[in-house]
Amino acid sequence: MDSRQAFASAVSDSPSLTSPALEDLPRRRKWTTVRRFAENRLAVAGLVVVILLYLSAIAAPWISRYPYDEIYAGMRSKPPSAEHWLGTDRNGRDLYARLIKGGQVSLAAGFASVAIIMTIGVALGALSGFFGGIVDGIIMRATDVLLSVPQILLLITAASLFQPGLKTTVIVIGLTSWPGAARLVRGQFLALKGQEFVTAARAIGAGPLRIMLRHLFPNALAVIIVEATLWLSYAIILEASLSYLGLGVTIPTPSWGNMLQDGQRELIRGAWWQTFFPGMAIFLTVLSFNLMGDGLRDALDPRHRRR
């Protein structure tokens, strides 16, 4: 039997998990997770919206109706209408097309940043938790240092190192956000490495790399996935904040963050749609990722049940 299941059923307060015979657990458990997630209506709603968002990003060329960078003469800052569903921006570009394109950029930026965050976080957290001692000391002190400064200050400082743009935004978010993930994975590895199946693996001669990759990592995966989901939403907020400050994704490439900044200038003249829609898009996306991530956590780890 898989140790995570043993661990989960040992500490679980949920009767549905402890009632079936222990031998049946692996298969049943998988379906229990899916079922528990499916029963959580908010989480499913989050998942559906997230899927729709990614679909709209993929289908951007076909659904955006207008090119996102085409300037229409005499169409500066026009309110929503039948031709331009969400109105036009201050340069006379179609806002709906830009919102879709901006979604593509923001979602991609979020995804790429999370890839970096989780790669560094998992690798360093794993080393830290598994080896302990001086390795652990150095890595954890590095997280202490990074976590002691407000992240937005680190982001702004680091962003000024490079040319502003999508690539810089992703790299900078990735390089400043890993400490949380590293600590989480470290905790998981610490808890797991003392268990019997690890001792057994050691006894049959498995090396450290094999133990980490084949035995510890799969058991920590559930926690890692939940963390990654929640970071997806946070990375999008960070991208928006940086781009809003003019240090992230730069125009003419639209992102939800720089659309906010761009639209803000017209706000005083009553052109609310240029600020309202990009912000709404960020809000909905972050909300959906959070609902999904939270539902995933509840489904995967009954100890964390909050609802």
Partner 1 sequence: MQSGTWAYLTRRAIFLVPLLIGLSILMFALIHAAPGDPALAMMGERAAANPQYVEQVRKNLGLDKPLPVQYFIWMRNLLQGDFGTAYTFGNKPVLDLIGERFWSTIQLQAISLFLGIAIAVPVGIISATRQYSLLDNTVTVGSFLGLALPNFWLALLLQIWIGVKLGWLPVISTGQANAEFPERIKYFIMPVLVLTLPNIAYFARFMRSSMLEVVNQDYVTVARAKGLDHRAVIYSHALRNALIPMVTVIGLQLPRILGGAVIIEQIFAWPGLGDLAYKAIGQRDYPVILAVTMLSGVAVMVVNLLTDLVYCLVDPRVSLTS
Tokens, residue 273:
């749609």
CB of 109 to partner 1, least distance (A): 15
* CB of residue 27 to partner 1, shortest distance in Å: 30
Number of helices and strands in the chain (H, E): 14, 0
Closest among 187, 210, 180 to 126, alpha carbons compared: 187
Residues 307 and 295: their CA atoms lie apart, in Å, by: 10
Q: What is the DSSP letter of 301?
A: -
Which is nearer to partner 1, 81 or 264 (by Cβ)? 264
Least CB distance to partner 1 at residue 148 (A):
4
What is the closest distance, in whole angstroms, from the C-beta atom of residue 256 to partner 1 in the complex? 9
Which lies closer to partner 1 via its Cβ, residue 203 or residue 307?
Answer: 307
CB of 223 to partner 1, least distance (A): 17
CB of 212 to partner 1, least distance (A): 26
Question: Rounded to the nearest whole angstrom, what is the least distance from the CB of residue 168 to partner 1 in the complex?
Answer: 12
**Using CB under 8 A as the criterion, which residues of the chain lie in contact with partner 1 when the complex forms?**
42, 141-142, 144-154, 156-158, 160-161, 233, 237, 240-241, 244-245, 260, 264, 267-268, 270, 272, 275-276, 279, 282-284, 286-287, 290-291, 294, 306-307
275: Cα separation from own chain's centroid: 24
> 157 or 199, CB closer to partner 1?
157
In the block, which residue shows the tokens 């489904």?
Answer: 299
Of 25 and 295, which has the nearer Cβ to partner 1? 295
Residue 23 tokens, joined: 């031998």
Closer by beta carbon to partner 1, 66 or else 289: 289
Q: Provide the token pair at 261.
A: 């900044």
Over its C-alpha atoms, the chain yields an Rg (Å, rounded) of: 23
Residue 221: DSSP 8-state: H
Residue 249: which region, alpha, beta or left (left: phi > 0; alpha: psi -120 to 50)? beta
Instruction: Check if the beta carbon of residue 73 is closer than 8 Å to that of residue 124.
Output: no
Integer Cα distance of 39 and 301 in angstroms: 15
Q: Cβ(57)–Cβ(105) under 8 Å?
A: no
Residue number, 136 or 211, with CB nearest to partner 1: 136
| 188 or 233: CB nearest partner 1 | 233
